[in-house]
């Protein structure tokens, strides 16, 4: 890999998360450059979502430190990280159920930006709904949206906070292939807007297609990191996904 | 439910009735007394609701109420603090205890918070019950001075001297708390409270300072409840632990707010102004022994049949502009 010409936006150092006797993450080190798109893959229970929680502030690491743009943010509360430019979505969507879609976005506009933003208008919010193809749902309550609409609302809401780095947790889960194409398009658009992205997804194809770099987690440990094409053929990765006995090269498609 | 013009007309009509109505009832003091206390309980309900808007249902607001009452009375008796200043100090005492809750219970939600709040209602009660030398113990304190007249130059409100003065004073107090309650729904702070009660983790991720805004709600809610306590002691002329630190008193604002509509600007106020006079003027003469059972019944019926409270009937279904 080339030496970083751009500054590290995120630097995780020796992150460990332990709950009781169980270690969810063990000694994770990860440097993310600005404007990079990183895919995090790994089987269920590998600690992918926990890692996102550590970055966005929902999970306190029991050891290690999180640096963001050169600052130690390990002990920052979530809202402070959000205003500094870290946004995330949730695997299981968390809409504000009794707010309309545009009001959901308005919360991000009003509170998520570094400057005080008071009179965010409906039109401003709808511009973000358009990004994810939901402008016609502006006046639907959060609880009345379908699961896939709620997922897209999560993305729009996170973007409304004006992030530098966006963590996408399973955005394409449960979407039709057509909508997955839309997600890929959206990610390409975000790349052009110079966002840094961290993507978790079970759709390996999507992750492979958009990522500059892949990180593989298994049972709380980082087992590999590198270019998507070399990672995906690596026996250890295949072993983690399929079990070691069936460590054969993947067939086409 | 109602046509637009009628919806806009209703609040105006309510204000007119509140200000002029009791004058028309030449039946006199009973009506001033009952509607005055309805306004008092409206203020208490709104004070409670300011915390409830953040998503925490408290069963222990009687603690702030009682601490406010005792602090006001003791400061006035022992330190000769002017009555209204002592009442404000009572509010500060309440918010001091509220700040302790804010730290100690910051991780508790739902039923766990409700139980913790209920338990912390008992702590000051037991202390005051047993600290005979300072508080008079379980006998309480009697012969508390009435609230002095408020002198605004041209306008003098004889608060403690006539039922009418007391009534207008309590209408004004309700209006003052109403302004804060309005802010807790419609301001930026109100949006933060709404976001955290609908989904706290999402609120944090979107930049809402959950702890800070809830702490503010806790402090203000406890302060206003404490002031209500101080006023209550002076309105009643006596204070005793069982009276102010009671679960009934702690649950009362909850019932009024649920009945009126917890998330509506006018909800808790409406609940108090409808339910309390109905209880006192209709039910009590008819059923002097068991009239208070209505409150238990009301809460059950409300939760089952109109969980958004009666205020929802005045507004359009679940849309805000």
* Residues A167-212: tens digit of each pLDDT: 999 888 877 888 888 888 889 999 999 999 999 986 677 888 889 9
Chain A nearest C-alpha distance from B106 (Å): 14
Mean pLDDT of chain A: 87
For B134, the token pair is 């300072």
Give dist(CA B46, CA B54) in Å, integer.
13
Cα dihedral sign, B284-B237-B248-B106: positive
pLDDT digits (tens, 9 = 90+) for A224-236: 898 888 888 888 7
Q: How confident is the model at residue B320 (pLDDT cuts 50, 70, 90)?
A: very low
Strands B150-152 and A63-68: what pairing? unpaired
Instruction: Look at A116 and B138; give whichever has higher pLDDT.
Output: B138
Which of A189-193, B48-52, B199-203 shows the lowest per-residue confidence on average (mean pLDDT)?
Answer: A189-193
Q: How confident is the model at residue A95 (pLDDT cuts 50, 70, 90)?
A: very high
Instruction: Look at A223 and B10; give whichever has higher pLDDT.
Output: A223
| Cβ contact, residue pair B318, A110, below 8 Å | no
pLDDT digits (tens, 9 = 90+) for B163-176: 888 888 999 999 99
Would the pLDDT of A248 be above 70? Answer: no
Integer distance in angstroms from the first to the last C-alpha of chain A? 28
pLDDT at A118: 62
**Residue of A76, A79, A114, A119 to mutate for B, most B C-beta atoms under 10 A:** A79
For A177, the token pair is 């292939």
Residue of B nearest to A121 (CA): B321
Would the pLDDT of B223 be above 60? Answer: yes
**Residue of B106, B197, B207 to mutate for A, most A C-beta atoms under 10 A:** B207
Q: Which residues from B are below 8 Å from A when comparing CB atoms? A: 188, 191-192, 194-195, 198-199, 201-211, 318-320
Would the pLDDT of B51 be above 90? Answer: yes
Between B188, B192, B198, which is nearest A97 by CB? B198
The CB-side HSE value for B67 (13 A sphere, CA atoms) comes to: 25
> What residues of chain A, 5 to 64, have a C-beta less than 8 Å from chain B?
56-58
Give dist(CA A39, CA A199) in Å, integer.
5
Query: Which residues, other chains included, contact A184 with Cβ-Cβ below 8 Å and sequence gap of 6+?
Result: A206, A209, A210
What pTM does this model have? 0.89
Tell me the chain A residues in contact with residue B206 when contact means C-beta distances shorter than 8 Å.
79, 82, 107-108, 111-112, 157-158, 160-161
Chain B nearest C-alpha distance from A5 (Å): 30
Give dist(CA B232, CA B243) in Å, integer.
11
| Cβ contact, residue pair B194, A100, below 8 Å | no
């Amino acid at each position: 890999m080339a030496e970083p010409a751009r500054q590290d936006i995120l630097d995780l150092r020796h992150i460990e998360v332990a709950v009781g006797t169980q270690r969810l993450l063990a000694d994770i080190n990860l440097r993310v450059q600005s404007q990079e798109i990183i895919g995090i893959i790994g089987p269920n229970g590998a600690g992918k979502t926990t890692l996102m929680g550590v970055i966005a502030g929902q999970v306190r690491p029991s050891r290690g430190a999180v640096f963001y743009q050169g600052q130690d943010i390990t002990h920052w509360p979530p809202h402070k990280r959000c205003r500094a430019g870290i946004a995330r979505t949730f695997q299981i969507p968390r809409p504000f159920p009794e707010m309309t879609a545009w009001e959901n976005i308005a919360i991000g506009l009003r509170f998520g930006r570094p400057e005080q933003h008071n009179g965010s208008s409906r039109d401003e919010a709808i511009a973000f709904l358009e990004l994810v193809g939901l402008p016609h749902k502006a006046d639907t309550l959060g609880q009345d949206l379908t699961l896939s609409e709620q997922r897209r609302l999560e993305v729009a809401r996170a973007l409304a906070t004006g992030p530098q780095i966006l963590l996408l947790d399973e955005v394409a889960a449960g979407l039709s292939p057509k909508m997955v194409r839309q997600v890929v398009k959206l990610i390409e658009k975000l790349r052009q807007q110079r966002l840094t992205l961290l993507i978790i997804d079970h759709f390996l194809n999507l992750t492979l297609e958009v990522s500059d770099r892949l990180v593989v987690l298994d049972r709380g440990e980082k087992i590999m990191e590198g270019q998507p094409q070399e990672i995906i053929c690596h026996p250890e990765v295949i072993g983690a996904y399929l079990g070691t006995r069936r460590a054969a090269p993947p067939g086409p498609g | 439910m109602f046509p637009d013009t009628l919806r806009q007309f209703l609040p105006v009509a309510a204000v007119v009735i509140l200000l002029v109505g009791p004058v028309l009832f030449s039946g006199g003091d009973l009506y001033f007394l009952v509607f005055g206390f309805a306004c008092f309980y409206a203020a208490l309900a709104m004070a409670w609701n300011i915390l409830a808007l953040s998503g925490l249902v408290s069963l222990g607001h009687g603690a702030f109420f009682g601490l406010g009452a005792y602090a006001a009375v003791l400061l006035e008796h022992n330190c000769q603090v002017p009555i209204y200043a002592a009442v404000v100090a009572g509010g500060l005492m309440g918010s001091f205890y509220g700040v302790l809750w804010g730290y100690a219970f910051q991780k508790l939600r739902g039923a766990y918070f409700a139980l913790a709040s209920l338990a912390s209602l008992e702590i000051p009660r037991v202390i005051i019950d047993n600290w005979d030398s300072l508080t008079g113990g379980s006998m309480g304190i009697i012969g508390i001075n009435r609230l002095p007249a408020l002198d605004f130059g041209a306008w003098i409100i004889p608060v403690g001297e006539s039922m009418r003065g007391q009534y207008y004073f309590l209408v004004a107090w309700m209006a003052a708390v109403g302004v804060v309650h309005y802010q807790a729904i419609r301001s930026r702070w109100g949006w933060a409270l709404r976001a955290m009660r609908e989904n706290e983790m999402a609120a944090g991720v979107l930049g809402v300072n959950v702890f800070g805004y809830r702490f503010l709600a806790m402090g203000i809610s406890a302060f206003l409840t404490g002031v209500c306590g101080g006023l209550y002691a002076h309105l009643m002329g006596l204070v005793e632990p069982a009276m102010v630190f009671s679960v009934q008193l702690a649950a009362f604002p909850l019932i009024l707010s649920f009945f009126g509509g917890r998330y509506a600007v006018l909800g808790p106020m409406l609940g108090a102004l409808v339910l309390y006079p109905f209880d006192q003027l209709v039910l009590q003469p008819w059923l002097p022994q068991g009239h208070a059972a209505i409150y238990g019944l009301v809460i059950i019926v409300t939760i089952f049949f109109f969980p958004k409270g009666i205020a929802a009937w005045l507004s359009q279904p679940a849309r805000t502009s």
